[in-house]
Amino acid sequence: MFSEPELETHVYDKPPAHANADWTIDQDWASYSAEEHETWDILYARQKEMLPGRAAQAFLDGIDILNLSKPGIPDFRELNRVLMDATGWEVVAVPGLVPDDVFFDHLANRRFVSGNFIRKREQLDYLKEPDIFHDVFGHVPMLADPRFGDYMAAYGRGGLRALKFGTLKQLARLYWYTVEFGLIQEPEGLRIYGAGIVSSYGESVFALDDASPNRIEFDLERVLRTEYRIDDYQQNYFVIPSLDELLRVTVETDFKPVYDKIADMPDIAIAKIIDGDEVLTKGTQEYAQSKSGDAIIV
């Protein structure tokens, strides 16, 4: 995600010297080491194994379309040929997190920004900022789906509007609870499509199988009002009935009246169930309670 407060590295105020004015850089694929390619292969192998029966159909199709089973860190030049053909999207490399307006402008123009670095071996399970495995394996398969591709481009345009309205905090929650941590109801059962889940070994299982989190039917207003945590597994997941329905309530909806309506309403605390929620699973919250320390909440 963007605007995460306590990141230590790969964060810049302006494009670093080696970057273009739009913050993009050359992926410089040739300079990845053998060890770095192998890190990708290790991460890929264990995620791939858990995907059947867990990942959304669109995500599984995306893995095939993009030929992500090919060993090693994907070369964006190759990846983009297929992705462009599928949905007009491309992946561009950036040195780290980019400012919100830059991020939204890229999305609106069907460019998904990806970190070009890969995590270290001792960070296989957790790192604070998105690396190429999260960005490419987590996000790009869904971008090969025309509906999700349209959603993300519209989100970019919506982000630029939200900056003008001063409602970025609300809109960012939509990104968090769909693009990063979304669940979808499929005929065979609940599936994961959020990049933060599909790129995480532990959360892929936790999000679907654990008794701890709430699983609630997606409702736009509700989601825009709901806080989220950025430091551990989610305490709430929101479930969309289909990608078509997601598009109907986002891309085809003017958010201005919604922002106006919720302006005077309180934010909803993490894990709280409110009147009107269609609760699929009422979580025990046992996992969150078992962890010491305060959640980092946005």
Interface pick for ligand PHE out of 250, 262, 268, 283 (rule CB under 6 A): 250
* 195 touches, from ligand PHE, Fe ion, none (C-beta below 5 to 8 Å by class): Fe ion
Number of Cβ within 10 Å of residue 58's Cβ equals 20
Binding mask 167-186 for ligand PHE (x = CB under 6 A): -------x------------
Pairing outcome for strands 214-217 and 279-281: antiparallel
Q: CA dihedral defined by 48, 129, 232, 278, rounded to 10 degrees? A: -70
127 interacts with ligand PHE by CB under 6 A:
no
Site for Fe ion contains 195 (CB under 5 A): yes
User: Reduced to 3 states, what is the DSSP secondary structure of residue 113?
Assistant: strand
Contact range with ligand PHE by CB under 6 A, out of 19-27, 52-60, 249-257, 273-281: 249-257
CA 98 to chain centre: 15
Tokens of 244: 């078509």
The verdict on 147 binding ligand PHE (CB under 6 A) reads: no
Amino acid in position 159 = G
Total chain residues near ligand PHE (CB under 6 A) = 11
Strands 90-94 and 279-281: unpaired
Residue numbers 254-283 binding ligand PHE by CB under 6 A: 254-255
Of 18 and 164, which has the nearer Cβ to ligand PHE?
164
Q: How far is the CB of 172 from ligand PHE (least distance, A)?
A: 11
The answer to whether 192 contacts Fe ion (rule: CB under 5 A) is: no
Please give the residues from 222 up to 281 whose contact with Fe ion meets the rule CB under 5 A: none
Q: Do the Cβ atoms of 34 and 121 come closer than 8 Å?
A: no
Structure tokens at 294: 């305060």
Burial class (CB in 10 A: 0-12, 13-18, 19+), 161: middle
Do 131 and 9 meet the contact criterion of CB atoms below 8 Å apart?
no
Does residue 244 bind ligand PHE (CB under 6 A)? no
Please say which residue, 150 or 267, places its beta carbon nearer to ligand PHE.
Answer: 150
- In the complex, the smallest distance separating the C-beta of residue 256 from Fe ion, rounded to whole angstroms, is 26
* C-alpha 82 chain-centroid distance: 21
Residues that bind Fe ion (CB under 5 A): 130, 195
Residues that bind ligand PHE (CB under 6 A): 151, 154-155, 158, 161, 174, 250-251, 253-255
